[in-house]
Structure 1
Amino acid sequence: MTVNIQYLHMLNSESINTYVTDKLKNLSQKFDWIINAEVHFDKRNNPTQDKICKIELSVPGPRIFATSTEDNFEQAVKHTIKDLEKQLKKRKQTFASY
């Protein structure tokens, strides 16, 4: 699985890179048919300083997308991965076994 990470309105962070890469690696071990992951981090410049994580997965069939807004990036990644895992489980059930 290929992981592409982009940062919008903020600087690159190696700690967030390794965190999201590890989480996606665990996800790809459960679902070995994931092809590619596009990760986007964004930060809103409002008084609450919301942190946004958007992840789009390339899989057989339509792409799977999830996003979450939290107080820090680790929580945003955690919730986004959880949403993606739910969608991947549903997609796996639609696969026909012949």
Structure 2
Amino acid sequence: MNVNIQTVHFDADAKLVTYVEKKLSKLFQFHDRITKVDVYLKLDNVVHNIKDKVAEIKVHIPKYDFFVKHSSKSFEESFDEALNSVITQIKRKKERLAA
């Protein structure tokens, strides 16, 4: 699995990158043919919006792509929400293919 973590409008510290990589390693439990995962961590500078840390996850599986975007007050929270959503999408797709 090829993991690509990109940050937009800031530089991520090693602790955040390690956190993301550790969580992403759990994706193999849900699908064994994941080829690539793209993670985008962005600072969304909307003046009137409290939720300004955005996490986007793109998971590539042969013939299928999954994309999720979440925003909240912290990158960890945004990433966790997005990861849970993408796991749900992968499980649903796998159930449909098995049926």
Same fold (TM over 0.5): yes
Name stretches of at least 5 consecutive residues in structure 2 with no aligned partner: none
Aligned position for 2:75 = 73
- Picking from 75, 78, 97, the partner of 1:95 is 97
Measured in 1, the distance between the counterparts of 2:51 and 2:86 equals: 24
Please give the TM-score of this superposition, normalised by the length of structure 2: 0.88
Q: Is the 8 A contact 2:51 2:71 kept in 1?
A: no
1:43-71 CA-to-partner distances (Å, cap 9, x unmatched) read 02234261000000001222100010010
Give 1:14 deviation, angstroms: 1.1
Give 1:94 deviation, angstroms: 2.6
Q: Is the 8 A contact 1:43 1:49 kept in 2?
A: no
Runs of 4+ in 1 over 2 A off after TM superposition: 45-49, 94-97
Give 1:42 deviation, angstroms: 0.4
Change (3 A) 1:60 1:95: farther
Question: What is the percent sequence identity of the aligned residues?
Answer: 29
Name stretches of at least 5 consecutive residues in structure 1 with no aligned partner: none
| Number of equivalenced pairs | 97
Measured in 2, the distance between the counterparts of 1:49 and 1:96 equals: 38
Task: Supply the RMSD in Å over aligned alpha carbons.
Answer: 1.6
